[in-house]
Amino acid sequence: MKLDVNVLRYLSKDDFRCLTAVEMGMRNHEIVPAELIERIASLRHGGTYKVLRNLLKHKLLHHDSSKYDGFRLTYLGYDFLAIKALVNRGVFSSVGRQIGVGKESDIFEVANEDGTVMAMKLHRLGRTSFRAVKSKRDYLKHRRSFSWLYLSRLAALKEFAFMKALEEHGFPVPHAVDCNRHCVIMSLVQGYPLVQVQQLQNTDTVFEKIIGIIVRLAEHGLIHCDFNEFNIMIDDDEKITVIDFPQMVSVSHRNAEMYFDRDVECIIKFFSKRFNLTFESNAEDSESDEESDSVKPRFSSIKKASGVLDKELSASGFSKKEQDDIEKFTENISGTDDEDTEEGEDLEEDGDNSTINASDIQKFDTLCLLTKDDEQLNTSGDVEEVQEDREGKQVDTNDQAEDDESEEDENPELLDRLARQRKRAIQAARAGRKTNSSRNAYKDKGGKSSHNSKIQKQMSSW
């Protein structure tokens, strides 16, 4: 959606009051009813529906009547709220051209009253190019439901905090000016993305600087996780500036080493292809070689500095104590799960109780032996003889199977009794287990339950 700031000239206080009311209502509503907007806005002279109609015309709100009649904010309306708040603070007074588009953000030029040009980054999570936020970011944490506007706000706050802390520790990052909602104001970097550069005067020096930044970040407890030629700015004097920080993680993260090696490999691969920079072939094999370590640093050889930024900024990752607790917990769960799976690994959980496996018959035979021994206990009362019989039965299982088959063939009543016991044994073995019915069970081509399935459900409820 194109950002047209000229609409801001024609918006009144009542318009912004209704936009703020919709924002407040979206804290616990996916779609905010018009009655709630009118109650929160509490306009003096009324006319809430007229204001909502004006906001719909400028595409600042979206009307949705799928579940119930209501409204929700669009990214353009959220942009206007953030821009209005920053203008009232005096951070900037004008918005210029768009200078960058990313998979999760848009970047514009802004200027204050003194004429200083800055960069405004608007986070826009939820685009078709980047919707795997739940698997690639930890913004949600323990939350189940979310909105893209709220996730964009969290991403902006996280990036602003990282930029502030890295600037204080002397890292080459833009100067963080201010932040509001999903909008971050930073200094404009005078340079070009490294991906657009075709030649360098000092290729080796630039490469060492970039690798040194990755190592310094790891020494301070952080990993960039997206350190590539698109997020590195370089000027005419070959000065390096790093951008884009929402995805940074801690060195104590479970995948920290993989992320660190990936950042290093991205830089090495780019310099080898673009600038034909050659590296030693035995850089990975020679562990004691200092030159190879300087070319490709190793995560295990990095020493942390005194100031650890991942704890100060609550970077995503797991501390050693939390990781040990999780491993102990998973070991206890896996131990109990292994016992359950060993007992019922041969049972088919396909929802069909009429099928009988070989393991079911073996378990049934053992149950039959126990029942016969109990009968002998009740009749004779001699426990020692029954124990001797059990030991003899366990040794000569093949002979007993043949004798049982001959007895079953001669006595039909015994066959019926054994069949009933067999069903009871299978039901006891499968008690407490959830049967995984097939996807197409009780469903026809239209996706609705058929008439026979409805009758079966009614009979099961009776």
Residues designated catalytic: 226
Concatenating the DSSP letter of every residue in 83-118 gives HHHHHHHTS-SEEEEEEEE-SSEEEEEEE-TT--EE
Alpha helices, H only, 137-255: 148-168, 203-219
Tokens representing 96?
A: 């210029």
d(CA 231, CA 380): 86
Q: What are phi and psi of 180, to 5 degrees?
A: -150, 125
Token pair 């066959």 is at which residue? 415
- DSSP category for residue 314: T
Q: To the nearest 10°, report the CA torsion of 151, 155, 158, 160.
A: -130
Give the burial class of 276: count Cβ atoms within 10 A of its Cβ; 0-12 exposed, 13-18 middle, 19 or more buried.
exposed
Question: Are residues 360 and 349 in contact, defined by beta-carbon separation less than 8 angstroms?
Answer: no
Q: Which of 44, 3, 1, 286 is nearest to 18 (CA)?
A: 44
Tokens representing 405?
A: 């088959």
d(CA 269, CA 277): 9
| Torsion sign across C-alpha atoms 37, 42, 48, 52 | negative
Residue 271's SS3 state is helix
Tokens representing 172?
A: 């080459």
Q: What angle do CA 411, 417, 420 make, to 5 degrees?
A: 145
